[in-house]
Structure 1
């Protein structure tokens, strides 16, 4: 009896371990219950060999220091922070759910963060040693895009389309007073956040001036989005500049606090141009701006006088036969007001260039075929700068250090995989998080002076004892031009049997600025991909030419013909799949969202003999309906490239539909507006083609929150219904 009981318990435990994921777990578990152990919000304390982070409960700010031999200790508790806030601001109430995870170290002892009180939001400077609030500037509860000045005496923030500055102890200043909602000040939503734009306001180093975007979009056509929540549905108009049509007009302005007025930088004509790389000079006397023409093939880096707005000079120009895509502000070398770093892919890979403020190229700091993915910081004397860059044909991320004077570059991390590293302010220590296809997370401290590595912890496999993930393998496929190795990922069905034949789902994106296959935990896949594999599918993904992290020429093959070379490469992936005896060649499906939705629909229409089923979410169906900034970069205007627009439109090919296609769209989509899919559906009706359509009435370009479970279930059900049978 005892043996039978033990056998029952053992087999029961094994069955539990073999349990498949639920669709709920597959949707959120990757970031919740199945998230590998990691440091939350890590940051190096300035001028100290101490790393700080939040504990597992998010209630305490923890610290590990070299002095304590990296032992863990509590630095500040949430309750200490709340007590300090109440002492400084007794007229308000604070009920923090967690310690502010967006904190930053301003100096060795001062933390900067934002907290919400009952009456106002506050931009806080907090002394972590004394456990007291040094200063707190209150802004309206509905304030947006708050920016604290370097000296901590002012907070700039947005009240709808206008800018307000609140002094530490004073009356708020209305910097702008535009009543027309088509005039937008200080917003980061300029040029639709292309060109790396993520801010709309910048303080000068002396905190005396505020630089900001001023956008006039009154001339841009209104685009209606229908709000279905009201008793009688109503339209919410947005400004949406479509390819080939009128675009917004943007200038940069400087507000002088002492003078109480703004001036405009004289960036000149034409009014339809893109203002990028916006950077204050370290002394606050000049502003550097990249002027990119609407054709996006000619960039000028200009200098302007901040006191007058006058043009000073053009430092250099960058031109391309395809497109120039500036994505980063300048980075001045500490202690050298006349030298800065500029990032560009002009020589084939996005790399660093050291320039003088006279416009002279001092040093090309590029290294082999490494693409910089994140610029970190300098060491103490600014002899070196650190960055994260690619390796292993774009699959890996490694930490590099380059000496500014010589250009000598060293790779500082060695393990193959994805290194998420941050460097101490003196440049001597590295907090390294390593993951790869077999490692959930390996966290260590690297001493760059003696190469000593101190392990802090190694995350356990979060799926152990809960579920068995199907086998995943990284593969290489040669591109359609026969020259380029492409990175692929194949997830095998659960309980894989090579003697059987399985249906295939190809998950695709394929467009610029996205990479789906990486040497990281889960191989860069979503847990939903593994869920589908547990349901009996081979799940395959290929990063075709045109996708991210492989350099300029790899991406620029898309120019003027989006989807053409990308599809050719995806079909090479299909050839790879068909060479496998376990692949059912009559049951191949494809799925993707946004650019992936465009690729899904394109593949189903152009390769109808290969793909039986497709699920296209938020698909671009004709690039003439897409916005100017992104669309014209890759396709030029419809007037300039009518053949390219005609060739890549899926609306024009609706009559070619053979398989089953589900199109999903968010009714509030302000990125790929619903007109895309509606025009395609109408073309299918005209052609007598049956197509399935599903709308998420309250969602924008993607389906987020709890409704994501519904979306994933719908996708899984569609393939189960139409691909498996």
Structure 2
């Protein structure tokens, strides 16, 4: 439930300062107390050098091996603004250096700039200090997708696609006027299955592949708008589990002749199309076709001109679910070989296939989970990736030889690394943090292992904030087989002979991990704030959460909340065994899936927690959307007992203690119906519940209103748990 997550904020545990956090700093503190860093580092192609922005975002600085990595300014905001003025003919207001800058080669970089009327995409030449416009789109254009040569751009106006080229010519690709027909949107299949875009340019920059989504048959769901004197209704299309879902196709548009071809993705209309990848030749398109049941994936190859199915390269099936998340990556200089990611053998890893569907070799290494792919080496023979190790706690950079499968771990210190290799592979840029390291950046020579430390950030709280202590916790899952990660945060001036109230913070759902060995162990500022107010704050990641492999996740299939709660009860037992924990003053807080877990505890284990706050909670999975809900629960028709047992509506009568539910009235993810139905069930059962609504917010309460929310939550626990 990656899109359901609340924002997890940075924290610290080692400093001793002068004061506690203010409630405002629970939201804005991460910027105020961020450890010192190098901003947006990027290797320069063809050079043993990288650039980054200064701390004020005013200058682009270069660091070269030949100059012992010492910083030198090469381009300022003022320089760029002057070049922009000449290129665009407009008065330029450039307060910060563009954060989307990207090196094309050793002499040129490209970036975007938005004026009052246009979004420009430009290239800047370091040698002649000249900026050239590559393409421009209207400010109203959304989801801008640029061709590889940056001279064409596709964008959305409403639910339709337009194109512009280098000459400024605009072409309308689609002209649908029917409400519910959506073209080119990244919000297809509700952005599950790794979908981050809705349009893809071909390698020759002439053809555009795009999603065409028909959701006319999907139920309208009303969101009440309160800003007018008489409230109005904003309808969204929301396919609930077991109900009619959207129908999606893929279309190829040829910009040379304005012809459109729909790929013949035959099969049921309600299936999922993902992994969209152009063949390097531009003649074929590869698509992952996943059935609505999400347990059978076909990787298909289609002719981009006729739309015909060439062949199914391979299929992947599971008794639980198959979850494709990563597009194919073709191997440089080998147009008939690509990398495919899957967790079918237990951990998400790389597999090398040819375009006939033959598996050449597995590129997996031990039980390392591939979290994100890096770049190919200059000769195309190796690729780097960030891998998860240490039972989910650490991230390291690895490089694998594609021809042999030989894998090398390039980073060593335990922690979370963000690292990358120079284009020639001679140097490693390595930024990392862990429980005791705020931020450290080194450049290491791959040949002689010599390291140069560029930055070792001091504790940003030292002398300012009186921080509590964070301690790692190692537990075992309820089945006695699997190690689980947790953390406990102690109040300042902790006295083990005293009794303290507890704040138990949890999430528990898929694609989320609250505990990592970084600065500082994944704790948020609200966690630290509550510890400073005298609470023992505890968090752990149960089975079903992220970065631990296939079996760790699949245990939740068809019974969301069961294994998760069994594991969290291990955390409860751990706390109750501590003499300093007042088991009669324990509170629990979670948002989204965490809100579901929080409410589940209050009705399924009503004697544990005295007080709870559930934000945006799922109450009954039949009210949740098709793509996520049916992956984990199957449909209500297929799994009626699972939906019944996990629903909290008929358990309202078991509620004890104090429960406050918070919801955003505009929530398009966990719709407000969840909490309203539960409130009604509590009324019928004679149970009192506190309820608070944020009228203008969606699933997460953001901005200054988030301060109000945290203040409300903190005071709610204080009222009920402080003696």
CA distance, structure 2, for counterparts of residue 650 and residue 109 of structure 1: 61
How many angstroms does 1:134 deviate by?
Answer: 2.4
**SS of residue matched to 1:713:** helix
> Mean Cα displacement is larger for which, 77-86 or 549-558?
77-86
**SS of residue matched to 2:66:** coil
Map of 1:85 onto structure 2: 84
Q: 2:331 aligns with which of 327, 333, 338?
A: 333
CA distance, structure 2, for counterparts of residue 342 and residue 553 of structure 1: 20
Map of 2:39 onto structure 1: 40
- Residues 248-327 of structure 1: pairs in structure 2 closer than 5 A: 248-327=246-325
The question of 1:444 aligning with 2:445 is answered: no
Map of 1:632 onto structure 2: 630
CA distance, structure 1, for counterparts of residue 27 and residue 431 of structure 2: 24
How many angstroms does 1:109 deviate by?
Answer: 2.3
CA distance, structure 1, for counterparts of residue 92 and residue 344 of structure 2: 50
> Mean Cα displacement is larger for which, 440-449 or 562-571?
440-449
CA contact (8 A) 1:94 1:116 kept: no
**SS of residue matched to 2:682:** helix
CA distance, structure 2, for counterparts of residue 369 and residue 625 of structure 1: 36
Map of 2:11 onto structure 1: none
How many angstroms does 1:170 deviate by?
Answer: 3.6
Map of 1:11 onto structure 2: none
CA distance, structure 2, for counterparts of residue 561 and residue 428 of structure 1: 49
CA RMSD of aligned residues (A): 1.2
**SS of residue matched to 2:335:** coil
- Residues 642-681 of structure 1: pairs in structure 2 closer than 5 A: 642-681=640-679
CA contact (8 A) 2:664 2:696 kept: yes
How many angstroms does 1:16 deviate by?
Answer: 10
- Residues 89-168 of structure 1: pairs in structure 2 closer than 5 A: 89-90=88-89, 92-168=90-166
**SS of residue matched to 2:719:** helix
Map of 1:18 onto structure 2: 18
5+ long unaligned stretches in structure 1: 1-14
Map of 2:5 onto structure 1: none
The question of 1:74 aligning with 2:73 is answered: yes
CA contact (8 A) 2:219 2:238 kept: yes
TM-score, structure 1 as length reference: 0.97
CA contact (8 A) 1:94 1:118 kept: no
How many angstroms does 1:710 deviate by?
Answer: 0.5
How many angstroms does 1:530 deviate by?
Answer: 0.5
**SS of residue matched to 1:523:** coil
CA distance, structure 1, for counterparts of residue 640 and residue 33 of structure 2: 48
Q: Greater RCO between the two (CA within 8 Å, min separation 6)? A: 2
> Mean Cα displacement is larger for which, 266-275 or 144-153?
144-153
CA distance, structure 1, for counterparts of residue 202 and residue 122 of structure 2: 19
Map of 1:510 onto structure 2: 508
The question of 1:187 aligning with 2:185 is answered: yes
Per-residue CA deviations over 1:440-496 (Å, capped at 9, x if unaligned) read: 000111221221111101011000010121010011011100111100000011110
CA contact (8 A) 2:16 2:462 kept: no
How many angstroms does 1:40 deviate by?
Answer: 1.4
CA distance, structure 2, for counterparts of residue 286 and residue 481 of structure 1: 47
- Residues 371-386 of structure 1: pairs in structure 2 closer than 5 A: 371-386=369-384
CA contact (8 A) 1:125 1:152 kept: no
Q: 2:433 aligns with which of 411, 432, 435?
A: 435
Map of 2:488 onto structure 1: 490
How many angstroms does 1:118 deviate by?
Answer: 2.4
How many angstroms does 1:213 deviate by?
Answer: 0.7
CA distance, structure 2, for counterparts of residue 36 and residue 336 of structure 1: 43
CA distance, structure 2, for counterparts of residue 106 and residue 308 of structure 1: 34
CA contact (8 A) 1:123 1:155 kept: no
CA contact (8 A) 2:16 2:461 kept: no
5+ long unaligned stretches in structure 2: 1-14
**SS of residue matched to 1:17:** coil
CA contact (8 A) 1:378 1:427 kept: no
CA distance, structure 2, for counterparts of residue 354 and residue 370 of structure 1: 17
How many angstroms does 1:136 deviate by?
Answer: 3.5
> Mean Cα displacement is larger for which, 34-43 or 620-629?
34-43
**SS of residue matched to 2:67:** coil
CA distance, structure 2, for counterparts of residue 228 and residue 457 of structure 1: 50
How many angstroms does 1:428 deviate by?
Answer: 2.2
> Mean Cα displacement is larger for which, 469-478 or 145-154?
145-154
Give the number of equivalent residue pairs: 709
> Mean Cα displacement is larger for which, 125-134 or 481-490?
125-134
Map of 1:481 onto structure 2: 479
**SS of residue matched to 1:271:** coil
CA contact (8 A) 2:561 2:597 kept: yes
**SS of residue matched to 1:679:** helix
How many angstroms does 1:119 deviate by?
Answer: 2.1
CA contact (8 A) 1:175 1:261 kept: no
CA distance, structure 1, for counterparts of residue 601 and residue 111 of structure 2: 47
Map of 2:3 onto structure 1: none
List structure 1 segments (4+ residues) > 6 angstroms apart after TM superposition.
none
Map of 1:699 onto structure 2: 697
TM-score, structure 2 as length reference: 0.97
Map of 1:57 onto structure 2: 56
1:511–1:300 Cα change, 3 Å: same
CA contact (8 A) 2:135 2:168 kept: no
CA distance, structure 2, for counterparts of residue 304 and residue 67 of structure 1: 49
CA contact (8 A) 2:296 2:317 kept: yes
CA contact (8 A) 2:544 2:556 kept: yes
CA contact (8 A) 2:508 2:542 kept: yes
How many angstroms does 1:588 deviate by?
Answer: 1.1
1:16–1:596 Cα change, 3 Å: closer
> Mean Cα displacement is larger for which, 411-420 or 128-137?
128-137
- Residues 425-574 of structure 1: pairs in structure 2 closer than 5 A: 425-574=423-572
CA contact (8 A) 2:17 2:464 kept: yes
How many angstroms does 1:110 deviate by?
Answer: 2.5
Map of 1:717 onto structure 2: 715
CA contact (8 A) 1:282 1:337 kept: yes
How many angstroms does 1:408 deviate by?
Answer: 1.2
CA distance, structure 2, for counterparts of residue 524 and residue 68 of structure 1: 36
CA distance, structure 1, for counterparts of residue 127 and residue 545 of structure 2: 47
CA distance, structure 2, for counterparts of residue 188 and residue 125 of structure 1: 26
How many angstroms does 1:137 deviate by?
Answer: 1.9
**SS of residue matched to 2:347:** coil
Map of 2:615 onto structure 1: 617
CA contact (8 A) 2:134 2:151 kept: no
How many angstroms does 1:411 deviate by?
Answer: 1.0
CA distance, structure 2, for counterparts of residue 47 and residue 159 of structure 1: 39
CA contact (8 A) 1:93 1:118 kept: no
> Mean Cα displacement is larger for which, 187-196 or 406-415?
406-415
Map of 1:12 onto structure 2: none
**SS of residue matched to 1:616:** strand
How many angstroms does 1:117 deviate by?
Answer: 1.2
CA distance, structure 1, for counterparts of residue 629 and residue 484 of structure 2: 25
How many angstroms does 1:67 deviate by?
Answer: 2.0
CA distance, structure 2, for counterparts of residue 128 and residue 649 of structure 1: 61
CA distance, structure 2, for counterparts of residue 445 and residue 645 of structure 1: 52
